[in-house]
Every structure is written in C-alpha cells, then in structure tokens.
Amino acid sequence: MAEQNEQKPMGMSRRAFLRYTALGSGAAFLAACAPAAAPTTGTGAPPAAADPGSAPAAGTPQQGGTMVWMGHQEVAGMSPQDIGPTVQAVIIYNILNPLVDYNEFVELENILASSYEVSEDGLTYTFTLNEGVLFHDGSELTSEDVKYTYDFYGDPDFPNPISGFFYGIGSVDAPDPYTVVVNMDQVNAGSLSSWATVPIVNAAYHAEVGEDVFRTAPIGTGAFKLREWRPAEFTEMEAFDDHFRGRPYLDAVRLDIVPEPSVRMIAMQTGDADAAVWPLLVEDSLTLADDPNYVVFRTLANSVKFFPLNNEVPQLSEVAVRKAMLHALDRQRIIDELWSGAAQIAHSNLAPKNAIYYNPNLPQYDFDPALAASMLDEAGWEVGSDGVRAKDGVRLSFLCTTITGDAARRPIAELAQQMLADVGVDMQLAEAPVSAILEGLRNGTLESSIFNWTFGSTPEPDPFSTLHSTGGNNFNHYRNPEMDELVEAGLNVVDPEARRPIYYRIQEIFARDVPCLYLQFDEWINPFSARVGGLPENPLSGDEIFFGAHKLWLNS
C-alpha cells in the first residue's frame, strides 16, 4: 500500500531531502511498499466514494455553489485523447469516468468497475461494471461502451496520443451488459495504469457525432456535465444529478484560463478563485502557504521540466550536441533563481520519488560551459563570425516555441538562450498556444519547446508514450531499437524485482542519448482557498484532487 515515508529518496541531496521532509502536511514520498501497477490475481476493492474522514476539520459538507479553478492554457479538447495536459485532464475526468484510476494517495480505486480479476498468466482482465450507471443523456453504461472506447482509441489506424496505452491488447469482449473481458496478446504490466484508466465514452453518441464533435461536446458518466466551453477563456461544468456515486456537493465548477501567474495570484487573494489547477509562481505559492486563509499542498512531481528536441532536425540529431547543450545549462541556477529552489535537478526520465525503479547511478552532466564548448569543437561545430557554430553548412540554431502567456517557464527559456549562446548555440524563441505546440511536436514541424511531461510515473515507470519510437507523445522523435525493445520488455514482466533492471537500463540509455534537455523535477504546489471543504490530508499528488471534484464543497 501507499504510505508516507520519511526515508531519504535515492538520488536526492541532503539539502533537498531536508527541505522536502520539512514541508508539512502536503509533503510525502511513495514508500517502497507501494503497489506495482502490474496484473495480479484477485478482485479489486471499490473505495470509490469520498471518505469523510480524509477531510481536514472544515465543517459539515455543504450543498451548492460554484467552485472556480484556474489553469494556464486553453482546453483544446475533452475526449480521452486529450488527457495529457493537466488543465484538460481535470475537466475530462470529471465529465468522463474510467474503469479504475489512481487517487491522490497513489492508490488504485475502482470507479466504473465494481471489481476486477486478472488471470494468473496476466493475459485476461475481467471487469464487473457497476449497474445502473447513467450517462448524461440518461442512457445506461454497459460493457459495449467500454469495448467501443478501447477499440476506437486503440485502433492502430487511428493514431492518437493515447494509442500506446493499449499495448498488448488483442481483443475486448462484452459477454453481458456488465462484464468486460480484455484479452491480451502479451502481458502489459502497466495495464491498470494505462488502458484501464482511459475514460469511457458513450458508444452510441460518439459513433453518431464522431471524434471531432465529441471533443467539443462530450457526454460521459462523470459527476459533472459540460455546461459551456470557450477553449481559451473558460470551461464550466454543472452537477449531474443522477451521478452513480451521488450528486456532487457543488452545483458547478468553472475553470478560468489565466495564463499569467501573477493574475492567478491576485484571483486567489481576492477570492475570485478557489484553487489553481496550474501552480502560481513558486514565491507566490509559498506566500499563501504561510497564510491561514489557504491550504497549500506540496508534492514532488513525476513530470520533468524539459526542452523537447526534434532529433530528426540535422543540427539536433547528434548525441554530442545534445550532451554539450546539457552541460551548457546551469540547471541549479535555473532552480534557485527562477523556481525559488523548489525543485531538484533531473538526472533521469524518472523522478526520485519512484523508489522502486529510480536509478541513482547515472551521469550528472554538471554545468561546465568549457567542456560543452570542447565537445562541440571535437564534433566539428566551428564558431562563425556571428558567434554561432556551424558544420557542413548547417548552423547550430533552432527555434524553441514556448506556450503563449507562460510567464513561469518563458524566463527559463530566456536564461537558457543566454547560456547556450555562450557556447555558440543559437536558440531562437517564439510563442504559440499549447495545442499548436503539441501538434507541431508530434508531427515533427516544431524543433523545440519547454514544458513538463512524464517519461514514466509513480508507481508505474512505463515510458512507452514518450520514449518508444511509436509513442503518441514521442515529442523528441527519438528512435532507438534497444530502447523500443526494453520498453516492450518492461511491460511484459510483472514482478517489480525482475522489472527493475530493465528500467535501470532504460534510464541509462536515456542519460546516454540525451534525447531532450531535461532540467528539473519540480515541487508541485497546489493552493486552495480555506473555504474549500473535502480536501485530503497528506496527498502524494495534487492533480488527482481536482479529478475528484465530487468530493469537494464550499464552506459558507
């Protein structure tokens, strides 16, 4: 089971460890006894309902009101394929429900499934659905909706960002209205963290309107249904009276899109917003943490802040160039000056909080601009009269497209631009909406950006989506046959002890090939107004609090 752990996580400096263990109620790490997201024989327990004992002393649950959240980017779509960005995911998982999912304590909960069993060979998953679950249009959820969802988004002829989630599935059967049988062609040890967590769509409605329309007008089984959607302005959800877990306490939830963190801070201080889905500036969050009018959770993120690099672009295709650029970046300075010290340098694709699979023995790539320049010299990149290196007529120049209005990460890109220029690398900057950036990175028309993303999580370390050559979020267009084989092999092994060497090797190759410029693992800081009731104690992850808006209420 998951539990709080004050053991020093592997790879963390003593200074960082002392800071994280002193964080208070929101700081915790996953203990080594956390459940591996691997197939096991048995029946899942159904702790889906809110546990009233998990809320701080904030009064009796109250009915009514509109809770206001804030995000930093547009909500470009609301179908299962849009769950990647956090700001979209918090909407989607309140409108659509999966069979099972991990909560804020990294515990697997049954949602639409009342129970499940996994065969001893890990090749058959049998889910029993809750009966009487209604979609927002009044129709009942059945096994055919689950089959349709998995068949549609797992169809190899429909490439989408979550297609890799369905690795290993051979077929999906619906023998009766409340039973789903997933037949695997091969073991996928990450099944309960991947395809089993994909939100289920209404088959009849989706087939009628198509994916493009569904992304703008979803119908699900969630505690909230879509009321109004203006992608770059706000998304508003209203309570679904017939939700199978009971009507939520709130009448509505509104997500306002506020790109500027300073404006998000003002909204928190004035009471115009109740929570920030996307964190504020770190120093502002720390200010709120000292104010009794707010509840602030601080947890180490699974996502790494990084510059994706299109490895197919000639000037970014050489490992030596990418390694040199990593040496040219003073990542500790970035953390100290631009992130108020609330992060730690990344040395792996996995965060140190993954105590089972994190490899602590990897290259460090310390800040060393002289070494970076020497490496580029040896690789044949000569400094031109304009100070920019070139080789065989190709300038060592690339365009980094940052998210429009991202005042938190844009300064990092600007400082990195200066650091790279010092060794003869020209990084130009531009801005675009996040939906355009993700599309451009996926189709290879963009060269670089900067944001946070997971390359394996906790407790499940699988990086198929980002490091496999066919991964739907392989933003780096990174292709390595050995990496592909290891990623697949890691999914075919169930026992954590047997899996560990595979993921150690994956991290070694990641650190050797440097497919991107990996910067830091942030301390994720989520502020809430103290009037928000139903908040958990000591969560291990902040995002999942928003996924369960049916547990929250507003105190008058």
Residue 405 reports pLDDT greater than 80? yes
pLDDT in tens, 441-497: 999 999 999 999 999 998 899 999 999 999 999 999 999 999 999 999 999 999 999
Residue 207 pLDDT class (50, 70, 90 cuts): very high
Q: Which two three-digit tokens encode residue 145?
A: 């909706």
Beta strands in 288-342 (DSSP E): 294-308
- Between strands 532-533 and 294-308, the pairing is unpaired
Report the SS3 class of residue 168.
Answer: coil
Average pLDDT over residues 531-548: 94
pLDDT in tens, 299-315: 888 999 999 999 999 99
Residue 12 pLDDT class (50, 70, 90 cuts): very low
pLDDT in tens, 414-430: 999 999 999 999 999 99
Average pLDDT over residues 51-62: 55
Residue 540 reports pLDDT greater than 70? yes
Q: Which CATH architecture has domain 301-523?
A: Roll (3.10)
* Percentage, residues of the chain above pLDDT 90: 85
Distance CA 473, CA 464 (A): 9
Per-residue pLDDT, 9: 29
Q: What distance lies between CA 235 and its chain's CA centroid? A: 20
Do the Cβ atoms of 102 and 193 come closer than 8 Å?
yes
Residue 16 reports pLDDT greater than 80? no
Per-residue pLDDT, 64: 98
Q: Which helix (H) or strand (E) holds 254?
A: strand 252-257
pLDDT in tens, 241-274: 999 999 999 999 999 999 999 999 999 999 999 9
User: In the predicted model, what is the mean pLDDT of the chain?
Assistant: 89
Per-residue pLDDT, 541: 86
Per-residue pLDDT, 438: 96
Residue 366 reports pLDDT greater than 60? yes
Per-residue pLDDT, 352: 93
CA 83-86-89 angle, 5° bins: 40
Per-residue pLDDT, 316: 98
Whole-structure pTM value: 0.80
Q: Where are the domains of the chain?
A: 301-523
User: How would DSSP label each residue in 13-74?
Assistant: -HHHHHHHHTS-TT-----TTSPPSS--SS------S--GGGS-S--S-----EEEEEESS-
Residue 18 reports pLDDT greater than 80? no
Average pLDDT over residues 186-205: 97
Distance CA 141, CA 503 (A): 38
Distance CA 524, CA 402 (A): 20
Distance CA 168, CA 165 (A): 9
pLDDT in tens, 502-531: 999 999 999 999 999 999 999 989 999 999
Closest Cα to residue 250, out of 269, 235, 264, 237? Answer: 237
